Structure 1
Amino acid sequence: MTLPRWFGPGAVAFLLVWLLLLGAGRSRFFIDPGTFWHTTTGELILKDGFVRADPYTFTFAGQWWVPYQWLGEIAMAGAHRVGGFDAQLLGAATLLAALFAWLALRLWRTGLHPVVVAGVVALTLASAGSHFHVRPHLFTLAAMAAVAVALAEADVSRPKLKRLLLLIPLCAVWTNVHGGVLGGIGTIGSVFAGWVLAWKLGRPAPIKSWRDAGLLLLVAVGCGLSTLANPYGTDMVKTWLVIMNAGELRDIIAEHRPFDVTASYAWPVLALALLYLLVLYGVKRSALRVSWLLPLVWLALSFSRCRHVSLFAVVTLVAVTAMWKHTRWALWLAARRPDLYQPGSARPRPWWAHVWAPALAVALALGLQVARVPVPLIGSGWATHDPNAWPVDVLDALKEYEPRAGEPNRLFNSEYIYGGFVIYHAPGYKVFVDDRCELTGGPWLVNYVHAAEAPGAAVNDWQDRYGRFEFALTRTGTPFDEWFRAAPEWRPIKSTPTATFYTRRSH
C-alpha cells in the first residue's frame, strides 16, 4: 500500500512506537526510583533556586551535593505540574517515538522495504528498551543519536563538515540535562582523531587539509569547554567523576552492572550486534568509514556497564543506515530482490507530512491529561506504579504518620530504592538513603547493602552514628524486616506482601 503524499512513513512509525510505549510503559517506565526524587528536585529548584546540599536524608543532611541533571529535573517537574505522572509518561514516550521514527525514516530512505525497516527498528527498540525510564537520561539517548548522525553524514559529505559546529551548543544543553554528555564528547573526540589518522594514512575521511583538522579541533575544544556552561561550574564535572570512579556500583546497582549474556535483555542486544557485524562485513575495506566503527566502541562499553546498551542500540541503527548502500548485500538485493531493496524507491514527501499527525496526537493526549479526562493510553489516570515494586499499599499509613515541621522525622528504609519513593510521596520524612550514589559514595552504599547479613548490629551502629530512627520502611520478608518485626521496641503499622511500615512503640 502506498501512503498519500500528505501522510509520511515517519508519522506512521511515530504513532506505532508512541502507542506501543504508552501501553508498555504504563508502570514499567516508573520502575526507577530516580523518577520520584528527580521530580521533587525539579520542584525544589523552581521554588528555592539551585540546590547545593543534600535536602532529603538525615544521614548526609547538608553535605555537598550537586543536582547535575537540574535542567532535565525542571522539565520533569514542569510536566508533572501539567498532568502528573501521565504527562511525564507522555513526554518520555513522545521523545522516544520521535527519535525512533526519525531513525526509521532515515533507514527507509535507503530504499529498504518498510517491513525490513520495521524489523530492524523493532530489534533496536527491544535492545534499548531495558533502560527506558522517566528520567533525564532519555535526553542522552536522543543526543547521542544526533551526534552519531552528524558524524556519519559528515563522514561521507565534506560540505557538511562545518555543521559539526552545532555540536557545541548541543553539548552545552546536554551538560545541564544529563552527565551522558561525557560519552557524547568522548564519541566526538574519538571520531575526530580517527578522521585525522585516516587522512594521514590515505584512507577515506572528510578531512582534506590541516584547515579541516583545525576546524575539528575547534569543535572538540568547544564541546569540552561547554561542560562549564552550567550553574555549578567545575562542581558539575566533579560529580560526574565521582560516579564514574565508583567501581563498587557495578556490584550493587543494576544499571551499573556488567553486561550479562544470560539475562533476558541480552538476547536482542546480541542479535543487533550480529546484524551490525554482518552489515559491516559486507562493506568493502576501501569504502570503510571511521564513524561506522562507533558501535564497536559502545558494544565494548556495554559489556563494562549495561547502562550503555541503549546507546549502543541507537548508534548501531545510525551506522547500519549509513553503511547499507555500500555493502555487497545491498548490491545483491537490488539485483535479485528489488521487492526488498530498491535504491531511490522512497517517495520524497514534505517534512510536515511526517509531523502533523504526531503533533495532533500528542496535543490531544496532553489536552485530555490537563482536563483530567480518563482515557486508556493517552488520557489521565493511565500511568501507575507497580505495587509489586513500590510500597504503594502502605502509602496511606506513611501519610497518616508523616511528621510535621519540627517533629522527629528519621525514617530508616531497608531498600535504597524506597528512598526516592518516600522523598516524593511523603516529604515530611528524612530518609536513611536513596540511590544518589554520588552523595553516599560507593563504599558506603556497599556497606549498606551488605548490612542485611547482620541487621541488628547494623541498626544499632547506624543509630549511634546518625541518631535514633523513629520510623522504618522495609521490604517484607527481608532480614531487616524480620529484625524489626521481632524487636520489642518496634511495632508494625501496616504490612503488605511488598513492604511493611513500622514506628517505635513510644512514638
Structure 2
Amino acid sequence: MNQATAIAMATPSLEDAQRSRLLFCLFCACTVAYVLMRHANSLLLDPDSWWQVKVGLDFLANLTFPTVDPYSYTFAGQPWIAKEWLGQVLLALAYGAGGWNGVVTLIIATIGLTVFLMGWFLSAWLKPVLAVVLAFVAAFLVAPIYTARPHVFTLPIIVIWTAMLFRAAQEERAPSPWLLALVVLWANLHATFTLSFVIAGFAGLYLLSRIGLSKPVLLAKWVAFGLLCPVVSLVHPYGVKAILATLTVAYGNEAVPLILEWRPFNAQEELVKEAVMLLALFGLLVSRLRIGWAKALFIVFTLHAYLSHQRFMYLFFLLVPLVIMAEVAQQYPALSAATWLAQKRDGLENFFARHYYAISGAVAVLLIGAVSVLGSVQQIAPSPKTSASGALAFARDQHLSGNVLNSYNFGGTLIFHGIKTYIDGRTDQLFLDGFTKADDATGHSDGKPLLEARLKKYAIGWALLAAGDTRIPFFEELGWKRAYADEYAVIYLPGA
C-alpha cells in the first residue's frame, strides 16, 4: 500500500486535515514574513541592489536589451548583457510602485512564498508540525542570502522544481512537461537556471537507482525531459549567451575569490551552520535511515557547492530536506503524514478546521495591514554603507566632474544616480583581464605605485572611497586633498 492509499483510508476528515495543514504552512510563512518586516532594512545591505533596480528601470524606459556596458567608463562599450533582465524588471516595477519599501515588500513576499512551499511539500510526507519547523529552520539558516536581488525570485522555483522532480521519480512516473515552463521563467530571472539541469539529472539518477533498466520507456521520457531543459532555457532574449555568461562564473574568474559571497565556507564565522551540518551528519550516521546512493550523491553535491561558495547555502539547507523527506516518512512512520492523518485531530487542529475561512480572512487582513504599514509608515532605505548619500550630495553641490575612482561598494549607487563607475558589482562579465586583481592590489601595503599609475591611466578627477578603504593613506601621500568625509564615505580631489 502506497502512502496516497494509506492517507485516503486513514480518516474520513481528510478535507479538514488538509485545511489544518494549509494553515500550518501559512502560519509559518507569515511568521517569517513578520520577522523580515521587523528587520526590513537588512534586505538592502547589498550594494548590488542599486544597479539591479537601475537596469530594470532603464529597460522599462527604453524597452531594449543592452549588449554593451553603458554604466562604467573603464569598460564602456565592452560586451555586457542583462541576463537577469526579468528579475531586474520585477525589482524596478516594485520600486516604481513604492520606492525601496516596494522592493522590500516584494522580496519579503517571495521569501514568504518559498517558506510556504517548503512547508507544503514537506507536510505531504511528514507531520505538519515537523514540516513547518523544518521549513522555519531552513528559512533562518539561509537568511544571509535574503537581499533585494533577482536570485531571491528563484527560491520558490527551485523548491517546486526539486520537490516535484524527486516526487515523480519516487512514484516512478515521467516528470510533468509543464515543469519546463519553470526553466524558461528561471532562465530569465537569474543565472542560476543551469542548476535546473543538475537537479533534474540527480532526480533521474534516483529513478535509475529504483528501477534499473526495467522500464526503458520511462527512462527514455526522463532522458528526453533532461535534454529539453537546456533547450527551453534558450527562450531568452540573449539565447545561448546567457548560458555562456553563467559558465564563466561557474568555472571561476579573477573576481570570485575577492567577493564575500563567492568565498568558501568559513566555520569560524558560521558556527550555527557548522553545528547544524555536523548534527545532520551525526544523525545520518547513527540512525537507520537509508536514502540510497543517488540521493546521497545529491547531498554530497549540495554540500560541496556550499562549502565551495557561501552563496549556495540554500542548496543544502532548502533542498536536502525536500529530497530525503520520503525516506524519513517511510522509515519512521511515527513522523509521517499518514500517521498524523490517522490520529484524532487535537483541539487546535479542530479549531483550525472549523474556522478555516475566518482564520484565512483574518490572516489576509493582517498581511494587507502589515504591507500598508511597511509602505506608508516605516520608510526603508539602502544602507548608508552603500548609498554614500552625503558624499553624493556634496559632489552634486560642488559640481564635481570627470572620472571617479570609487570603492567597490559604491559602484551600485553610482550607477543608480547616473554616474559612470570605475568598478561595480558586475564582475561576472566585466572588470576582468587583470583589472579586478590590479584594483585589489592598489589597497595592499605596496599598492601606492599601482594606484598612482591608475589615477593617470584613467584620468581620475575625483575619488569616492569607503571610510575604511585601505587606499586612503596613499591618496594623502600622493598630495590629494580630502574634500568631504562622514562616517561612511570620503571624497578626495587632486591637489593644486
How does the TM-score come out when normalised to structure 1?
0.83
1:431 lines up with 2:431 in the alignment: no
Q: Which amino acid aligns with 2:437?
A: V
CA displacement 1:282-319 (0-9 Å, x = unmatched)? 4554x748457533320111111111111211102313
Displacement, 1:280?
Answer: 8.1
What CA distance in whole angstroms lies between the structure 2 residues aligned with 1:210 and 1:402? 71
Distance 1:55 1:132 in 2: 28
1:199 aligned to 183, 207, 211, which one? Answer: 211
Residue 232 to residue 76, structure 1, CA distance change in 2 (3 Å):
same
- What is the alpha-carbon distance in structure 1 between the residues aligned to residue 411 and residue 19 of structure 2? 51
| 2:465 equivalent among 474, 477, 485 | 474
Q: Is the 8 A contact 1:279 1:327 kept in 2?
A: no
Q: Taking structure 1 as reference, are residues 442 and 252 closer, same or farther at Cα in structure 2, changes over 3 Å only? A: farther
One of 459, 465, 469 as aligned partner of 2:451: 459
Quote the offset at 1:122 in angstroms: 3.2
The structure 2 residue matched to 1:213, chosen from 213, 216, 219, is 219
Aligned-residue offset at 1:183 = 1.2
Partner Cα separation in structure 2 for residue 13 and residue 289 of structure 1: 32
Residue of structure 2 aligned with 1:62, choices 77, 85, 94: 77
Q: Against the structure 1 CA distance between its residues 80 and 484, is the aligned structure 2 distance closer, same or farther, given a 3 Å change threshold?
A: same
The offset of 1:257, in angstroms, is: 0.6
Q: Distance in 2 between matches of 1:393 and 1:4?
A: 54
1:323 equivalent in alignment to 2:327: yes
5+ residue gaps, structure 2, are: 1-15
- Alignment of structure 1 residues 354-369 onto 2, 5 Å: 359-365=364-370, 368=372
**TM-score for both structures, normalised by structure 2:** 0.85
TM-superposition CA deviations, 1:13-55 (whole Å, max 9, x none): 121111111222x222112121110100111111221111111
**2:314 matches 1:310:** yes
- Considering only aligned residues, what root-mean-square deviation do their CA atoms show, in Å? 3.2
Sequence identity, in percent? 19
Q: What residue in structure 2 maps to residue 409 of structure 1?
A: 402
Mark the CA change 1:401 to 1:175 in structure 2 (over 3 Å): closer, same or farther.
Answer: farther
Q: Is the 8 A contact 1:397 1:493 kept in 2?
A: no
Question: 1:212/1:305 Cα in 2 relative to 1: closer, same or farther (>3 Å)?
Answer: same
Please name the residue that 1:157 is paired with: 171
| Aligned residues of 2:56 and 2:92 also touching (Cα < 8 A) | yes
Among 86, 101, 104, the alignment partner of 2:119 is 104
Cα displacement (A) at 1:174: 0.7
Equivalent residues of 1:283, 1:323 under 8 A apart: no
**Match of 1:93?**
108
The residue number in structure 1 matching 2:6 is: none
Q: Distance in 2 between matches of 1:112 and 1:150?
A: 19
Of 172, 186, 208, the match for 2:184: 172
1:117 deviates by 4.2
Q: Would you say 1:232 and 2:238 are equivalent positions?
A: yes
Q: Which residue pairs with 1:441 in the alignment?
A: 432
Q: Unaligned stretches of 5+ in structure 1? A: 202-207, 369-374
- Which of 462, 470, 486 lines up with 1:496 in the alignment? 486
How far apart are 1:187 and its partner, in Å?
1.3
Other-structure match for 1:19: 34
1:409 Cα deviation after fit: 3.3
Tell me, in whole angstroms, the C-alpha distance in 2 between the residues paired with 1:156 and 1:353.
Answer: 37
Aligned residue identity for 2:467: T
**Which residue identity does 2:283 align to in structure 1?**
L
Contact 1:276-1:320 within 8 A present in 2 as well: no
Checking the alignment, whether the CA contact within 8 Å between 1:250 and 1:258 is kept in structure 2 is no
Among 388, 394, 398, which residue is 1:391 paired with?
388
Asked whether the equivalents of residues 80 and 87 of structure 1 are also in contact (C-alpha less than 8 Å), the reply is: yes
Equivalent-residue separation in structure 1 for 2:311 and 2:37 (angstroms): 22
Of 178, 182, 189, the match for 2:201? 189
Distance 2:71 2:93 in 1: 20
Q: Secondary structure at 2:430's aligned position in 1?
A: helix
Does the Cα contact within 8 Å between 1:152 and 1:322 map onto a contact in 2? no
1:40 maps onto 2:54 in alignment: yes
What amino acid maps onto 1:418 in structure 2? Answer: F
Q: What is the letter of the counterpart of residue 413 of structure 2?
A: F
Q: Which residue of 2 aligns with 1:294?
A: 298
Distance in 2 (CA, whole Å) between partners of 1:316 and 1:402 is 54
Stretch of structure 1 that moved more, 268-277 or 84-93:
268-277
Deviation digits for residues 384-421 of structure 1 (CA, Å, limit 9, x no counterpart): 33335553442321332456xxxx431101x2121112
